[in-house]
């Protein structure tokens, strides 16, 4: 099957492309090579990578119409990620993520392409699931106030007794509660994909990736993830700077596992009668994609520092109002329905990431 991968020259996209090519799919990559992810705008792969590359922007309807010719499924990974610099980035996120998705989906409707795998994110949930030892499951806590964070009161508290809440695992049915511009844009992408599916009787899967790390992460950019920030600090001989008290819970999942989950979704969509596996045509099916083992941000910083041989983390007490305290989710649904589960152990993945050279490259046909 010919698969279009938007953002296929990026961190996650390059790994997805490699898996698809290895499995025998005909792959076409569309990537704008934006400078925030690709300094210099240079494609990060060899001249004969084993797939077709189109340098173009998903926001350009004429380009998207052209690349959809003969395509059976689309993996839509092109997006701005991270919290960015400040609210001035809002137009960039809305343009790249939401306008880009709308342009792509409209072109898919015109071309009759009826299979979509959307790269979503755990940020759509906002805060995670919580419970109180005395009062049981708790409602999603409201955004934290600067006054509490300034005082070092980082944990959400029970609205009834005021005691700190315990973090749990979020299920896909949980209400969405985005807390920053990036999260808003990912929710909008899911809603657009759902509308496209209903209007076209298409099949759509949204993969809510958790904190992805691994070789090829962009570095030295405010749009990268926390693992990249820590790795860049260690490479410069500095201690990783950890915000709050380092006890924020996340699920760090290796990029190879994420690529495998994305491939599993593509394969499920390609099976005749896929609606019996995923959902009825005209619906969006969401899946959490995580390692299944929550870790704290402080644990990640310490593990990276140990693996790299650098200074231990600096717990700063600083914070960003757009951050949530704890967000970890259950990946049981994707294990049950698509047969995927994470396989890269945390210690092994962190050691590999610590030793990986800076930059990234897509495998050529000979080495894929």
Span 322-336, average pLDDT = 93
Nearest to 36 by CA among 182, 139, 201: 182
For the cut 60, the answer to whether the pLDDT of residue 365 exceeds it is no
Residue 269 belongs to some domain of the structure: yes
Residue 137 belongs to some domain of the structure: no
At 59-91, the pLDDT tens digits run: 999 999 999 999 999 999 999 887 776 888 899
Helix, strand, or coil (residue 368): coil
φ/ψ of 2, rounded to 5, equals -85, 125
Give the number of other CB atoms < 10 A from CB of residue 33: 18
**pLDDT grade, residue 362 (50/70/90)?**
very low
Residue 263 belongs to some domain of the structure: yes
- Output DSSP code: residue 289: E
pTM summary value: 0.92
For the cut 90, the answer to whether the pLDDT of residue 318 exceeds it is yes
For the cut 60, the answer to whether the pLDDT of residue 368 exceeds it is no
Enumerate the H helices of 236-277 as residue ranges: 255-270
Domain span holding position 294 = 2-129+168-355
CA gap 363, 23 in Å, rounded = 14
Residue 141 belongs to some domain of the structure: no
Residue 250: per-residue pLDDT: 96
Question: What would the two tokens of residue 18 be?
Answer: 């490699």
Total domain count, the chain: 1
Residue 182 belongs to some domain of the structure: yes
Residue 51 belongs to some domain of the structure: yes
At 27-58, the pLDDT tens digits run: 999 999 887 777 666 666 766 778 999 999 99
CA gap 8, 216 in Å, rounded = 13
Q: How much of the chain, in percent, has pLDDT values that exceed 70?
A: 91
What rounded mean pLDDT belongs to the chain?
90
For the cut 80, the answer to whether the pLDDT of residue 6 exceeds it is yes
At 188-239, the pLDDT tens digits run: 999 999 999 999 999 999 999 999 999 988 877 777 789 999 999 999 999 9
Nearest to 352 by CA among 257, 281, 242, 260: 257
What's 42's domain CATH number? Answer: 3.40.50.720
CA gap 80, 84 in Å, rounded = 9
Burial pattern 315-336, b for ≥16 Cβ within 10 A else e, equals beeebeebbbbbbbbbbebbbe
Give, in order, the Cα–Cα distances in Å from 204 to each of 114, 187, 228, 268, 270: 8, 14, 30, 11, 12
Residue 34 belongs to some domain of the structure: yes
Span 155-170, average pLDDT = 92
Span 122-151, average pLDDT = 92
Lowest-confidence segment of 183-187, 262-266, 357-361 by average pLDDT: 357-361
Residue 364 belongs to some domain of the structure: no
Residue 275: per-residue pLDDT: 59
For the cut 60, the answer to whether the pLDDT of residue 366 exceeds it is no
The count of residues in the chain is 368
285, 332 contact by CB (below 8 A) = no
88 CB-near residues (< 8 Å, 6+ apart): none
């Amino acid at each position: 099957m010919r698969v279009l991968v938007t953002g296929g020259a990026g961190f996650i996209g390059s790994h997805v492309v490699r898996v698809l090519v290895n499995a025998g799919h005909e792959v076409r990559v569309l990537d704008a090579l934006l400078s925030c992810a690709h300094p210099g705008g240079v494609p990060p792969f060899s001249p004969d990578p084993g797939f077709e590359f189109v340098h173009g922007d998903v926001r350009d309807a004429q380009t998207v119409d052209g690349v959809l010719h003969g395509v059976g499924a689309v993996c839509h990974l092109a997006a701005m990620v991270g919290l960015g610099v400040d609210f001035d980035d809002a137009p960039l996120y809305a343009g790249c993520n939401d306008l880009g998705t709308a342009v792509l989906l409209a072109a898919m409707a015109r071309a009759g392409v009826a299979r979509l795998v959307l790269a979503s994110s755990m940020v759509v949930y906002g805060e995670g699931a919580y419970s109180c030892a005395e009062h049981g499951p708790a409602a999603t806590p409201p955004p934290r106030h600067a006054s509490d964070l300034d005082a070092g009161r980082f944990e959400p508290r029970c609205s009834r007794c005021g005691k700190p809440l315990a973090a749990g695992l979020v299920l896909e049915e949980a209400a969405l509660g985005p807390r920053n511009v990036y999260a808003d844009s990912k929710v909008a992408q899911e809603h657009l994909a759902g509308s496209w599916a209903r209007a076209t009787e298409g099949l759509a899967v949204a993969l809510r990736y958790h904190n992805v790390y691994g070789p090829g992460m962009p570095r030295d950019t405010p749009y990268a993830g926390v693992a990249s920030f820590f790795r860049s600090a260690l490479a410069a001989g500095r201690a990783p700077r950890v915000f709050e008290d380092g006890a924020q819970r996340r699920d760090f999942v290796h990029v190879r596992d994420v690529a495998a989950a994305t491939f599993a979704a593509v394969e499920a969509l390609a099976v005749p009668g896929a609606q019996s596996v995923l959902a009825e045509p005209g619906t969006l099916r969401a899946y959490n994609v995580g390692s299944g083992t929550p870790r704290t941000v402080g644990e990640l910083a310490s593990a990276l520092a140990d693996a790299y041989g650098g200074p231990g983390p600096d717990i700063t007490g600083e914070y960003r109002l757009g951050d949530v305290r704890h967000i970890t989710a259950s990946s049981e649904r994707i294990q049950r329905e698509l047969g995927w589960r994470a396989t890269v152990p945390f210690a092994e993945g962190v050691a590999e990431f610590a030793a990986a050279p800076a930059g990234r490259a897509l495998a050529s046909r000979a080495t894929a």
